[in-house]
């Protein structure tokens, strides 16, 4: 007898992208130590604004409660406290979406739930992802050996692929606003995906981690689309909305009405969570609840506006240079076409070597990203302005 490993792990690609970026930066720094202090990182996917004061105050108060016998709390409900679920329920009402409290599951972030949800599905299910893709969708399915098909995006479809007969799959991932492309589906686009899922009895896994950046009439939630309750699970996060990337809190919505093979996915997810998860800390959930208070919302809006202003500095530069891009309007990501038809790693090297600016090569997110590049709005105003001034100078010199 001997324990044998899950062979699927051995087939995973190395998580090459960010390791390779770090390697190239190190190499550049050791070749040019005198320039190191001028390096500007525009590739970061992490937020930089601190937690809002209202959130910190709520967590301090909750921590103090934990130190007093009368208000101490031990294990909480695995699926989250009602006070936070009620706050989320009210937030969804703003988009006209009615949720029952038992449809909302609090988690330690969207990434874990996006991976864990796959426990509910057969390993023979096929999976559709849009390419370029947030790598977690691909890797988590590879770990259980599922077949993955790719819906290619491009300039032609504005990086918003729509259903086609060859995209028939059992599980379909959509991310809107998208990471890495920043592209956002409108109601019409999402309606087509919901209909496609209905026709094929598929499940949509809708990643709304960036919904807080959406403005105007674009949908925040898949449940704004009629019929979505019967086909979709939604994942959301406090990471980008409220700076919780290190604090860790998110939520997943599994409608009561969602069934496959006669089984309720809501009941299955409840069973999964109560067995394998012991909930998010009381202190963190009180902090997340404060996100939805009047002062919390105001402070969060200031932070989001800070990132939006950075995104505007980037998109204005692209507009002046007549560079094609998606995102930046309802998203912290700007996905641009590399100048002079360069491939994304060559442009990465050029930008690093000649402008001392770091971004993320599109090829790291899939085949469709080959000649594209991702910049993020999570830096400071000062660095974003300086990086874009250097970017502009570099691109102008390329066209001389």
* Binding residues vs ligand PLP (CB under 6 A): 45, 109-111, 134, 175, 179, 207, 209, 237, 239, 245, 250
Q: Which is nearer to ligand PLP, 43 or 109 (CB)?
A: 109
216: left (phi over 0), alpha (psi -120 to 50) or beta: left
Least distance in Å: CB of 114 to ligand PLP? Answer: 6
Sign of CA dihedral 94, 326, 178, 150: positive
Helices 53-66 and 282-290 sit at what angle, rounded to 10 degrees? Answer: 150
Which residues, at least 6 apart from 3, have a Cβ–Cβ distance to it below 8 Å? Answer: none
Least distance in Å: CB of 235 to ligand PLP? Answer: 7
Tell me the C-alpha distance between 376 and 397, whole Å.
Answer: 23
Least distance in Å: CB of 349 to ligand PLP? Answer: 25
Query: Tokens 């050029």 belong to which residue?
Result: 350
Least distance in Å: CB of 263 to ligand PLP? Answer: 26
Least distance in Å: CB of 320 to ligand PLP? Answer: 28
Burial (0-12, 13-18, 19+ Cβ within 10 Å), 110: buried
Burial (0-12, 13-18, 19+ Cβ within 10 Å), 26: exposed
Q: Which is nearer to ligand PLP, 105 or 356 (CB)?
A: 105
Q: Which is nearer to ligand PLP, 189 or 332 (CB)?
A: 332
Q: Which is nearer to ligand PLP, 350 or 374 (CB)?
A: 374
Q: Which is nearer to ligand PLP, 140 or 245 (CB)?
A: 245
Q: Based on C-alpha coordinates, what's the Rg of the chain?
A: 22
Least distance in Å: CB of 43 to ligand PLP? Answer: 12
Q: Which is nearer to ligand PLP, 207 or 299 (CB)?
A: 207
Widest pairwise Cα distance in the chain = 73
Tell me the C-alpha distance between 295 and 43, whole Å.
Answer: 31
Long-range contacts of 317-324 (CB under 8 A, 24+ apart): 317/388, 317/391, 317/392, 320/392, 321/392, 321/395, 321/396, 323/395, 324/155
Least distance in Å: CB of 182 to ligand PLP? Answer: 11
Least distance in Å: CB of 239 to ligand PLP? Answer: 3
Please, how many CA atoms are within 13 Å of residue 347, restricted to the half-sphere of its CB?
25
CA angle at residue 341 from 340 to 342, to 5 degrees?
A: 90
Q: Which is nearer to ligand PLP, 54 or 176 (CB)?
A: 176
CA angle at residue 240 from 237 to 242, to 5 degrees?
A: 85
Q: Which is nearer to ligand PLP, 66 or 143 (CB)?
A: 143
Give the β-pairing of 232-237 and 250-253.
antiparallel
Least distance in Å: CB of 108 to ligand PLP? Answer: 8
Q: Which is nearer to ligand PLP, 209 or 395 (CB)?
A: 209
């Amino acid at each position: 007898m001997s324990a044998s490993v899950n062979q699927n792990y051995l087939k995973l690609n190395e998580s090459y992208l960010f390791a390779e970026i770090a390697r190239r930066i190190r190499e550049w720094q050791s070749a040019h130590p005198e320039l190191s202090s001028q390096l500007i990182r525009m590739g970061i996917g992490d937020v930089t604004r601190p937690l809002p004061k209202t959130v910190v105050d709520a967590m301090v108060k909750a921590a103090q409660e934990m130190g007093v016998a009368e208000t101490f709390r031990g294990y909480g409900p695995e699926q989250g406290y009602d006070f936070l679920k009620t706050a989320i329920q009210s937030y969804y009402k703003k988009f006209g979406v009615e949720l029952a409290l038992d449809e909302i599951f609090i988690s330690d972030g969207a990434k874990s739930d996006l991976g864990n949800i796959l426990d509910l599905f057969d390993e023979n299910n096929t999976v559709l992802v849009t390419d370029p893709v947030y790598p977690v969708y691909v890797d988590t399915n590879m770990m259980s050996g599922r077949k993955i098909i790719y819906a290619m995006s491009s300039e032609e479809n504005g990086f918003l692929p729509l259903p086609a007969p060859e995209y028939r799959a059992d599980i379909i991932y959509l991310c809107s606003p998208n990471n890495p492309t920043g592209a956002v589906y409108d109601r019409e686009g999402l309606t087509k995906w919901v209909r496609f899922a209905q026709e094929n009895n598929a499940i949509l896994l809708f990643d709304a981690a960036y919904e807080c950046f959406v403005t105007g009439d674009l949908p925040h939630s898949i449940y704004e689309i009629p019929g979505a309750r019967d086909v979709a699970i939604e994942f959301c996060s406090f990471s980008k909305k409220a700076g919780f990337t290190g604090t860790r809190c998110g939520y997943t919505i599994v409608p009561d009405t969602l069934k496959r093979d006669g089984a309720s996915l809501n009941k299955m997810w409840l069973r999964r969570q109560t067995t394998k998860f012991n909930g998010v800390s009381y202190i963190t959930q009180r902090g997340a609840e404060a996100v939805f208070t009047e002062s919390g919302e105001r402070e969060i809006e200031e932070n989001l506006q800070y990132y939006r202003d950075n995104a505007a500095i980037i998109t204005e530069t692209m507009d002046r240079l007549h560079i094609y891009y998606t995102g930046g309007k309802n998203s912290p990501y700007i996905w641009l076409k590399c100048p002079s038809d360069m491939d994304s790693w060559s442009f990465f090297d050029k930008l690093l070597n000649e402008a001392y600016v770091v971004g993320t090569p599109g090829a790291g997110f899939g085949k469709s990203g080959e000649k594209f590049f991702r910049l993020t709005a999570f830096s400071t105003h000062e660095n974003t302005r300086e990086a874009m001034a250097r970017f502009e100078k570099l691109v102008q010199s390329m066209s001389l």
